[in-house]
C-alpha cells in the first residue's frame, strides 16, 4: 500500500481544496470540479505506479477535455489567460481566477509544471504529433512569450478602458478563436521545428507565471549521482531539453520540466 501514498496524497490535497471552496463560496460546483480533477490525477498516478504506458496521456485527456469542453464550451468560462485577466479586472473570484491560482500561480510551488504535463488542453493535442523528442536544437526565441503575455493583457484592458458592452460574450468568442489559434500555431511550429512542444517553449504566455513559480517547486526530478553512469539517455528523451542530471535549481531549462517522467522511465540505472 505504501507505494500508493502519492495518489492518496494528491487526492487528499484536491479534496481539501474542493471542500474548502465549496463551504467558503457556498457553491457545490467547486466540490464537483476539484474532486473530478483530483480523482483524474490520482487515477493517472496509480496507473503510472503500475507502469501503464499511457498513464499520463489518460490524465491529460480526462482533465484537458473537461476544461476545454465542459468549462469552456458548455459553461462558457474563458479558461485562457484572457479569462484570467477578465475575471481579475471584474474582481470576481470564479473558475478562471481559481484555476490560475491553483494550477498556474501557487500550485507550481508544490508540483512545478505538472499542469503542462498532465492537464493542459493545448498540449493534450500537441502531444499526439510525431515529434515527442525534439529533433532540432532549441532556439533562442523564448522572448516571444512575453509579447504574447503583454498582448493578452492589453486586449482585455482595452475592452475595459473602451467600456465595450457585453464583454462576457466577447470573452466566450475570444476563448474559441484563441484556442483555434493556439492549436494552429502549435501544430505549425511542431512541424516547422520538429518539436511537439515548440509552442510551450517559445509562445505560450502562461509560462510567464509558470516558469518563475516552478523554480521553487517542491516536487522535482532529482538524480542519484551514485547510481548514474552518465549515459545521457535521460536528456536525450526529455521533450523540454532539461539538463536532467544536474540537481541544481539553476540547471539548464530546469523551469521547463513538465514532470512527464520520460527520463525516469528511460534511465537504465534507476537513478532518477
Ligand atoms: S506551456 Fe502553455 S501550452 Fe504548453 S502545456 Fe504549459 S500551459 Fe499548455
Ligand atoms: S523528461 Fe524528465 S526532466 Fe524532461 S520534462 Fe520530463 S520529467 Fe522533466
Ligand atoms: S539516464 Fe540515468 S544513468 Fe543515464 S545519465 Fe540519466 S540519470 Fe544517469
For residue 239, give the 3-state DSSP assignment. Answer: coil
Taking only the tens place, the pLDDT of each residue in 136-147 is 889 999 999 999
How far apart (Å, rounded) are the C-alpha atoms in residues 234 and 223? Answer: 10
pLDDT tens profile 175-207: 999 999 999 999 999 999 999 999 999 999 999
What's the predicted TM-score (pTM) here?
0.90
Helix, strand, coil abundance in the chain, percent, nearest 5 = 65, 0, 35
Q: Which three cell numbers stand for residue 149?
A: 503575455
Q: Taking 90 as the threshold, does the pLDDT of residue 102 lie above it?
A: no
Q: How far is the CA of 15 from the centre of ligand 3 (A)?
A: 36
CA–CA separation, 42 vs 6, rounded Å? Answer: 8
For residue 72, what is the DSSP state? I
Cα 252 to Cα 180: distance, rounded to the nearest angstrom: 32
Ligand nearest to the CA of 145: 1
Q: Which residue has the cell 493583457?
A: 153
Average pLDDT, the chain: 91
- Return the ligand number nearest the Cα of 239: 2
Distance between CA 188 and CA 193 in Å, rounded?
Answer: 9
Q: Which three cell numbers, joined as nine digits, stand for 126?
A: 500537441
Which pLDDT value is given to residue 9?
86
CA–centroid distance, residue 88 to ligand 2 (Å): 32
Q: Which residues are CB-contacts of 7 (< 8 A; sequence separation ≥ 6)? A: 41, 42, 43, 45, 46, 49
The answer to whether residue 216 scores a pLDDT higher than 90 is yes
- With bands split at pLDDT 50, 70 and 90, how would you rate the model's confidence at 89? confident
Pocket test for ligand 1, best of 206, 210, 211, 212 (most atoms within 8 A of CB): 206
Report residue 256's pLDDT band, with 50, 70 and 90 as the boundaries: very high
3-state secondary structure of 227: coil
pLDDT digits (tens, 9 = 90+) for 145-160: 999 999 999 999 999 8
User: Would the pLDDT of 40 be above 70?
Assistant: yes
Q: What is the structure's pLDDT at 213?
A: 93
**If pLDDT is split at 50, 70 and 90, which confidence band does 1 have?**
low
Helix axes 29-49, 55-65, angle to 10 degrees: 170
Residue 107 confidence (pLDDT) above 90: no
What is the distance in A from the centroid of ligand 1 to the CA of 124?
Answer: 9
Top pLDDT among 95 and 111 is at 111
**In this model, does residue 104 exceed pLDDT 90?**
no
Q: Whose CA is nearest to atom 4 of ligand 1?
A: 200
Extract the C-alpha cell encoding 10.
494528491
The SS3 call for residue 49 is helix
Instruction: Please choose from 236, 269, 270 the residue to mutate so as to test ligand 3's pocket, defined by most ligand atoms within 8 A of CB.
Output: 269
Residue pointed to by grid coordinates 516552478: 214
What residues line ligand 3, using a CB cutoff of 6 Å? 223, 228-234, 244-245, 267, 269, 271-272
Specify the pLDDT at position 101.
84
Q: Are 21 and 98 in contact (CB under 8 A)?
A: yes
Question: What is residue 124's predicted lDDT score, i.e. its pLDDT?
Answer: 94
* pLDDT surpassing 90 at residue 26: no
Length of the chain: 272
Query: Looking at ligand 1, which residue's alpha carbon is closest to its atom 1?
Result: 200
Q: Quote the radius of gyration of the chain (alpha carbons, Å).
A: 19
Atom of ligand 3 nearest to the CA of 235: 6
Q: What is the pLDDT of residues 60-74, one digit of tens each?
A: 999 999 999 998 899
Domains in the chain and their CATH numbers?
78-214 (no CATH), 220-272 (3.30.70.20)
Res. 95: pLDDT tops 90: no
Amino acid at each position: 500500500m505504501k507505494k500508493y501514498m502519492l495518489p492518496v496524497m494528491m487526492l487528499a490535497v484536491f479534496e481539501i481544496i474542493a471542500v474548502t471552496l465549496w463551504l467558503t463560496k457556498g457553491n457545490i460546483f467547486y466540490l464537483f470540479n476539484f474532486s473530478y480533477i483530483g480523482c483524474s490525477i490520482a487515477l493517472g498516478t496509480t496507473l503510472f505506479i503500475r507502469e501503464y504506458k499511457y498513464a499520463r496521456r489518460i490524465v491529460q485527456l480526462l482533465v484537458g477535455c473537461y476544461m476545454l469542453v465542459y468549462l469552456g464550451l458548455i459553461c462558457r468560462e474563458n479558461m485562457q489567460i484572457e479569462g484570467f485577466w477578465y475575471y481579475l479586472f471584474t474582481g470576481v473570484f470564479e473558475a478562471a481566477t481559481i484555476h490560475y491560482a491553483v494550477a498556474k500561480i501557487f500550485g507550481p510551488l508544490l508540483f512545478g509544471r505538472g499542469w503542462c504535463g498532465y492537464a493542459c488542453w493545448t498540449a493534450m493535442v500537441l502531444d499526439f504529433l510525431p515529434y515527442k523528442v525534439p529533433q532540432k536544437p532549441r532556439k533562442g526565441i523564448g522572448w516571444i512569450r512575453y509579447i504574447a503575455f503583454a498582448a493578452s493583457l492589453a486586449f482585455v484592458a482595452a475592452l475595459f478602458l473602451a467600456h465595450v458592452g457585453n464583454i462576457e460574450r466577447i470573452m466566450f468568442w475570444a476563448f474559441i478563436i484563441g484556442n483555434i489559434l493556439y492549436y494552429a500555431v502549435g501544430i505549425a511550429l511542431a512541424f516547422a521545428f520538429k518539436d511537439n512542444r515548440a509552442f510551450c517553449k517559445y509562445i505560450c504566455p502562461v509560462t510567464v507565471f509558470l516558469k518563475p513559480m516552478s523554480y521553487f517547486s517542491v516536487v522535482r526530478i532529482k538524480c542519484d549521482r551514485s547510481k548514474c553512469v552518465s549515459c545521457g539517455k535521460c536528456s536525450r528523451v526529455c521533450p523540454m531539453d532539461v539538463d536532467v542530471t544536474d540537481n541544481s535549481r539553476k540547471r539548464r531549462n530546469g523551469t521547463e520540466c513538465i514532470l512527464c517522467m520520460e527520463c525516469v522511465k528511460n534511465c537504465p540505472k534507476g537513478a532518477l
